[in-house]
Amino acid sequence: MTRILLTHPVIVRPNYFPPASLAALAALGDLTVNESGLEWSTEELIAHARDCDIVVNYRETPAGAAIFDSLPRLKAWVRVAVDIRNIDIAAASRNGVLVTNASGVFVSSVAEWTIAAMIDVGRRFSDSIAAYHAGRVPVPVMGPELKGATVGIIGYGRISRYLVDLALAFGMRVIVTDPMCKVERTDVRQVSMDELLAEADHVVCLAVANAQTENLINADVFRKMKRTAFFINPSRGNLVDEAALMAALEQGLIAGCAMDVGRAEDQMPDPRIAAHPRVIATPHVGGLTPSLHQQSVEAVAQVADIIAGRMPGNALNAEHALRLRA
């Protein structure tokens, strides 16, 4: 029987690998799960995976070369997330191990978070809610509308394209910058980065996170934004130079910031920045709606394909999956 290991710590499992998916995975083979409340270290993971054929991997559990070099029985590493930056795919390929990932099923969820964040960071609803919860009566403040404002979107992927429709429905003017693709719509204007920063009332960062975009949003970007503009980050923390962001907030170069991500644990916002009075922050929950459960459904389907001898969807190194072919 195929031996399967699920690395999701028990505390996060309901959000990322719910009971129905867990039961479906258990029906496919001899399943071992992480019953601790913490992620395993590399050494612990190797010990638990020693006799496993397939590892189904939590998004925050890294897979370095040591793992693939130490598990001669392992055939496949099934990642229940889109982001694979902490997986050494070259090491997996060198050892003949298949790596898969999940689809971005949270497009609408993240776009909706972005709209909510743009409203909240401008009108300070969170401040009023916090004051009432603390037993204080907040002072009413006037804030900007989305209608008539300009949103500048950096990156034009699936989330951005969905966000465009929401922003237009709110009566916003939409501009986009992305050197890698062409915007075909007549109701959206494609501009340079400098034009976007000069015009946007809300700068939304939805660029792809990779080595080339590390610190894409830096001190120069904040200097070029309007002082009345808000910076919104629903994407990845490594896109932002956080020291530059804090300096921009302290110096009043931008009106405020809304962030769902950062460089803290589990890609959460840095608590020091999140505590700034002109920041609203959430703990990496932009995509955390029931639609996210589809990723676990995909993972189960990938495991079923592997066991049946089929190449699964979202295979990232199929040509190197020699152990699976054997």
**Residues forming the active site:** 236, 265, 284
Question: What CA dihedral angle connects 190, 195, 196 and 202, to 10 degrees?
Answer: -140
- Rounded-to-integer distance, Cα 118 and Cα 156, Å: 18
- The β-bridge partners of 315 are 100
Q: What tokens does 259 get?
A: 């962030």
Q: Is 258 helix (H, G, I), strand (E, B) or coil?
A: strand
Residue type, 62: P
- Rounded-to-integer distance, Cα 187 and Cα 126, Å: 32
Q: What tokens does 23 get?
A: 């039961």
**Chain centroid offset of residue 208 CA:** 10
- Rounded-to-integer distance, Cα 41 and Cα 44, Å: 5
Phi, psi for residue 77 in degrees, rounded to 5: -120, 110
* 293 touches 18 (CB < 8 A): yes
Write the DSSP symbol of residue 262. Answer: -
Q: 């209608």: which residue's tokens?
A: 147
- The β-bridge partners of 230 are 202, 256
H or E stretch at 273: helix 271-274
> Would strands 230-233 and 76-79 be described as parallel, antiparallel, or unpaired?
unpaired
> Would strands 202-205 and 150-154 be described as parallel, antiparallel, or unpaired?
parallel
- In order of 37, 58, 117, 213, 243, the CA distances from 239 in angstroms are 29, 22, 18, 6, 12
- Rounded-to-integer distance, Cα 85 and Cα 68, Å: 15
